[in-house]
Amino acid sequence: MNRTILTVPVQRIDGESASSFQDLLAIEEPLEIRLGDQAVSITMRTPGHDFELAAGFLFTEGILEGSHQIHRIRRTPVAGNPRQAGNSVTVELNAGAEVDFKRLERHFYTSSSCGVCGKASIDAIQMQGCPVLPKDSPVVQSEVIHRLPEALRRQQAVFERTGGLHAAALFDPRGNLVLLREDVGRHNALDKLIGAEMLRDHTPLHDKLILLSGRVSFELIQKGLMAGVPIMAAVGAPSSLAVETALRFNMTLLGFVRNGRFNIYSGASRIL
């Protein structure tokens, strides 16, 4: 079983006094994602749900269309030692499954500092053929939105012990928690969540909403759109490009969902 928490000795300084104790840290390690015999990406992640992360990444980047293309996902053996698997996952495709391998050689819009202009980034999503969101549905009561942060925190097991993880949580319109994933990376947490649902053939997620534990940037909106998520809520602030993208694709975007209040940046018709 992958470890997600590491215990380390720490010196705490409080004013002029010092004390020693054991602190708990969220583990961060690299994961290589491979598609067949081709390396696609290396991401820093919290170990756990690695197959979901690999599937979710390939799906939200528009490389895979769905689970029907996947034959299996396996650990990649360490070179020279086939019995030992390292921090690498290989996604094997079914016979006849076609992917755009040239896309793998082009730049992904996965960094908020990538320097690509906003219009080009948004147009790229449209070219990827993201699912069309259902118009004005689902409809969610404001009181349900207010309950989401507490429901998320109650289920963040590793965060409660370390304080060092982001979370992405999937809810139904009544506020029932469907699934939660944690990771040191916001993008990884969302990819794990979406990957889990994609592998279960639950995508597009037209009847669900997602809550993010931090701020929401363009690339998180991009991933949500690829999964067909109509409502994206965040405890933190959205970026300007996140709002622009949500408006373009009719996604409901909520920010600062905490302490009994929230802002609606787009798609207000889905919130009552």
Comparing CA positions, the residue from 108, 122, 120 lying closest to residue 245 is 122
Contact in structure between 29 and 47 (CB atoms under 8 Å) = yes
Determine which one of 114, 132, 139, 272 is catalytic.
Answer: 114
For residues 148, 151, 153, 155, the Cα torsion angle rounded to the nearest 10 degrees is -140
Q: What is the rounded distance in angstroms from the CA atom of residue 251 to the CA atom of residue 265?
A: 10
Q: How many CA atoms lie within 13 A of 183 on its CB side?
A: 27
Q: Beta-carbon neighbour count of residue 17 at 10 Å? A: 7
Active site residue 117: no
Q: How far apart are CA 218 and CA 176, in angstroms?
A: 26
Distance CA 136, CA 268 (A): 9
Burial of residue 164 (number of CB atoms within 10 Å: 0-12, 13-18, 19+): middle
Query: Looking at the annotation, which residues are catalytic?
Result: 114
